[in-house]
Structure 1
């Protein structure tokens, strides 16, 4: 079956609007991206024609490849595709194990008393007919559980607060656009009193920084908005640095907001612990071999206003990077919805949720 035959017009009609939303940045929040891809794959499985799990795997891989090529710097869609492939492969292996575990006992008991013809008949009886509809419903249930996991990711992360934050501690976060960090701090307030320093994240997230500070203040959390340039000056007073993540790689490194790299470097210099908050769906089986290809670039007009045309004439390149790559040695603990882990242990969590054969979708 060729690629054109695998991806039918019905499947294309489902994929195209999602790709369009990704390219136009109409899907901004990481959780929204993950939920959209998971729901898309559930629809693809329901409308596609397949007679065995291998055909379904091929369809999902092709869909994942199309999404990846349309937006190669976005890691989360590929994660969700691989998680769904993991679900399909696990269900297939379980079904085969059930068949194999039943048949050998039957064949060994009667092998001395039956003819070859009779044994062939037993094989036919022992192997159930493949029920595509049953497998379809089982896989759909697996994806629904994945959707529930993504939807409730903040609840799992919040459960760890009591052991991580102390009373009257000063915290610093350079990622005010992180919904998980916001919920984490609000939940922590119910058990601890603390102060939060929030960097303004110039030039891309100033409005989000103000919103973040306002939400914390509404929950009676003492919050101070500071310029990015003062991170090193205040670090000696900071007890912990808490960062949000956009993606976490198998080596324990991660992608986060532009400017986070300098903050965690300052934290390392002052021996201040760095906690990275990440839902399980952000963990990727990939390795960041080509870091520059992973970094997305935004509107350079935010860095240097186009009205300053005289200054622009003397500048060759103006770059506005939207993300930083954070090496694993700069992060002490990853806080996920299934627990806290050292960066050196992330590869083990990845192996529990992805199949090695799906690392490359092409």
Structure 2
């Protein structure tokens, strides 16, 4: 049954706040419902997924690392199946799985070091090592000799002999009286806290990615440049506004057109901010793209996902702009945060593109007149890697040859082959 509170389009802050007031299962179902209705999409999917996974770590019942991995994989699979065309969901799930493996590996290494140290201490005690003899107490009627005093002094100073004196209730291995049944919950509590802190760091990375990418604007845009921005997203807008604070250039904005009379022109807010900073803007319809390509110096757009082979999932029409730039030898710059890097190759569905509602372009009020038409409204495009020159990430500019290193640094080998769509670990 669909949750009633999701009947309207919520803000991301309101959605996250509702997670804290609901049970874990109710929060997951609410997000699944919104994902299916496409009321949460794009960058919001990554943030909402991270918050849900943090709730799983905090509220779900698990007693060891394997159970925690299973809980995360199960919740992530449900979210991914609700929005199969949002690859950032799978990226965040894989990042969290890798985070858990790292934290568990560090805990195991610490336990191994502690057990080895305890074993070394035990082997040096007189009970197990015959070569180490305890000090002999001299007979009372006689005065102790100098050699006996020297031997007793050396043995009393030995840290190993001090540690070897255990109380009757202590463990023979470590000298501690805490049983394993009490140590295990402490280890789980520590792992839970560390994983939640790691997810907070992933959320900080997602929130700061656009500003970090904008920090490289001054390097990529030069004075006097003509920059073509195709359907500029929030990431591209911040990038251009940051560049406008240091450079004077011209932005050619191409993409969406006004849907009707009296409707505000698209990207009016961006044009206003750029004009106030002294940057000229030109509004360009999609059918006039080829006329301006020879004039521009570079083409910039944001990517919804970057696949293992370097291909991009982008808004519809961006592929035409990339192909035109490639023909005229104009550099193509894709703005893509690292959390959008997907460690898998694009599927056939991605290559074909997502289809939307065709009524945005063709009115079906006169049914018989358009009954014989088959109209497709492509919402997303796939850009092959040979059309992209620079991948500008929050870690800096990258080329196609360095993408494998980024994927290896952020994803575990055990998780790259994890099938999120089918829910198979």
> What's the TM-score, normalizing by structure 2?
0.75
User: How far, CA to CA, are the matches of 1:36 and 1:191 in structure 2?
Assistant: 34
| Greater fraction helix | 1
Q: 2:343 aligns with which of 285, 293, 299?
A: 285
Deviation at 1:183, TM superposition (A): 0.2
User: Which is further off, 282-291 or 297-306?
Assistant: 282-291
Deviation at 1:280, TM superposition (A): 1.6
CA distance 1:127–1:287, shift in 2 (3 Å): farther
Deviation at 1:303, TM superposition (A): 2.3
Paired residue for 1:79? 91
CA deviation string 1:16-40 (max 9, x = no partner): 1111111222224x23221111111
1:26 equivalent in alignment to 2:39: yes
| Conservation of the 8 A alpha-carbon contact between 1:203 and 1:302 | no
User: How far, CA to CA, are the matches of 1:181 and 1:154 in structure 2?
Assistant: 8
Paired residue for 2:173? 122
Deviation at 1:310, TM superposition (A): 4.6
| Conservation of the 8 A alpha-carbon contact between 1:201 and 1:259 | no
| Runs of 5+ unmatched residues, structure 1 | 1-8
CA deviation string 1:93-137 (max 9, x = no partner): 111122223433553575587659x9x943897998332111111
CA deviation string 1:133-175 (max 9, x = no partner): 1111111111111111111112211221222111000000112
Indicate the SS of the match to 2:91.
Answer: helix
Paired residue for 1:17? 30
Mapping of residues 153-302 of structure 1, within 5 Å: 153-176=209-232, 178-201=233-256, 208-292=266-350, 295-302=353-360
| Conservation of the 8 A alpha-carbon contact between 1:203 and 1:303 | no
| Larger of the two Rg values belongs to structure | 2
1:140 equivalent in alignment to 2:196: yes
> What's the TM-score, normalizing by structure 1?
0.88
| Conservation of the 8 A alpha-carbon contact between 1:99 and 1:127 | no
User: Which is further off, 58-67 or 343-352?
Assistant: 343-352
CA deviation string 1:190-215 (max 9, x = no partner): 111110111133599x9644444344
CA deviation string 1:50-101 (max 9, x = no partner): 1111110100000011111112111111111111111111111111122223
User: How far, CA to CA, are the matches of 2:253 and 2:371 in structure 1?
Assistant: 35
Indicate the SS of the match to 2:375.
Answer: coil
User: How far, CA to CA, are the matches of 2:179 and 2:306 in structure 1?
Assistant: 42
User: How far, CA to CA, are the matches of 2:385 and 2:296 in structure 1?
Assistant: 21
CA deviation string 1:291-328 (max 9, x = no partner): 4477321111112221353541231x211110001111
Q: 1:151 aligns with which of 207, 214, 219?
A: 207
User: How far, CA to CA, are the matches of 1:124 and 1:73 in structure 2?
Assistant: 56
CA distance 1:20–1:162, shift in 2 (3 Å): same
Deviation at 1:349, TM superposition (A): 0.7
Q: 1:95 aligns with which of 107, 120, 134?
A: 107
| Conservation of the 8 A alpha-carbon contact between 1:248 and 1:282 | yes
User: Which is further off, 91-100 or 287-296?
Assistant: 287-296
User: How far, CA to CA, are the matches of 1:161 and 1:100 in structure 2?
Assistant: 48
User: How far, CA to CA, are the matches of 1:18 and 1:338 in structure 2?
Assistant: 30
User: How far, CA to CA, are the matches of 1:312 and 1:153 in structure 2?
Assistant: 45
CA distance 1:172–1:293, shift in 2 (3 Å): closer
| Runs of 5+ unmatched residues, structure 2 | 1-21, 130-163, 165-170
CA deviation string 1:266-306 (max 9, x = no partner): 11101101110011221111211424477321111112221
User: How far, CA to CA, are the matches of 2:256 and 2:43 in structure 1?
Assistant: 21
Q: How many residues are matched? A: 348
